[in-house]
Amino acid sequence: MDLSNENVIHIKKGTIEYLQFRRLLDYKDILNHAYSLGTNMNFRTLRANKEELSLEEYNKAVQSYKDLCNDLKIDYNNLVKTNQAHTDNVKIIDKKINIDNPDFNLSEYDLTDGLITNKSNIILSTTNADCILFLFFDPVKKVIANVHSGWKGTLQRISVKTVKKMVEEHNCNTKDIICCICPSIRKCHFEVEKEVKEMFENEYKELLKTNSDIIENTLPNVKWNIDTVKINQLILEEAGLKRDNIIDSKICSVCHSNLIHSFRVEKEGYGLNTAIIELN
């Protein structure tokens, strides 16, 4: 199956598969970027509950990162990865902590779901299994960001807080910032119960006045489907991004769980995809 569309290209090289955003490929200031495909690879270096991985699991993640980086011709040792915790915390990265190894599982990245840098030789990495991953790029100030946003992150508006931090810390202009939205669970499969639905209604009551389709009652008074991708597109526009600069992969992780790890499909023991990006 080829997931290429007007916004992304599906690359296949033997057992290595990934997506690249056509728009980001236009910029020489980005050394490389990718969103991994293929459930044969698993990028889990740390469990969410901080229990240790088996050596076999960890080695598989290391090999998955090495294989992807080797194919992209970028240095595996330059990786910096968040210890995601569904927060709205975004960290500025000025240098790596480990010199000759990736920054994996370090306490400095605890309670962190987004990374921003304007430095080369730093590969920003996030992971997902249905949550949204955003790749941001300011081609004028030459700043990148990589952000994990599950439904809790969307409620906390981490995408907008990332933009705000890029402006405050690197003097970016929102009109210049490009945001690419990686594959994630979409409205067709993001089904929630009343408690979560009410959280979104409370947070986005103004947005719902003109975009009532964001929340749809699919099972009367029992289940609702929520469009978290559209919510982020709208709030990023409100934050100053141009509509043409918000580029969606248009791919649902559940619909394509044969190629993309999905928590809702795999349940316990689910694998993780990665999104990576590096400046030249």
pLDDT tens by residue, 190-232? 999 999 999 999 999 999 999 999 999 999 989 999 999 999 9
pLDDT of residue 223: 97
Rg (CA), the chain: 18
pLDDT of residue 51: 66
pLDDT of residue 50: 59
Sign of CA dihedral 263, 266, 268, 269: negative
Helix (H) or strand (E) holding 11, with range, is strand 8-13
What CATH code would you report for 8-185+241-279? 3.60.140.10
Contacts of residue 17, defined as CB under 8 A and 6 or more positions apart, other chains included, come to 10, 11, 36, 37, 38, 259
Confidence check: pLDDT of 246 > 90:
yes
Bridge partners, residue 216, by sequence: 225
pLDDT of residue 171: 98
Q: How confident is the model at residue 46 (pLDDT cuts 50, 70, 90)?
A: confident
Kindly list the domain boundaries of the chain, sorted by start residue: 8-185+241-279
Terminal C-alpha separation, the chain: 31
pLDDT of residue 49: 63
CB-based contact 104:81 (threshold 8 Å): yes
CB-based contact 82:148 (threshold 8 Å): yes
pLDDT digits (tens, 9 = 90+) for 119-142: 999 999 999 999 999 999 999 999
Q: Average per-residue pLDDT in the chain?
A: 96
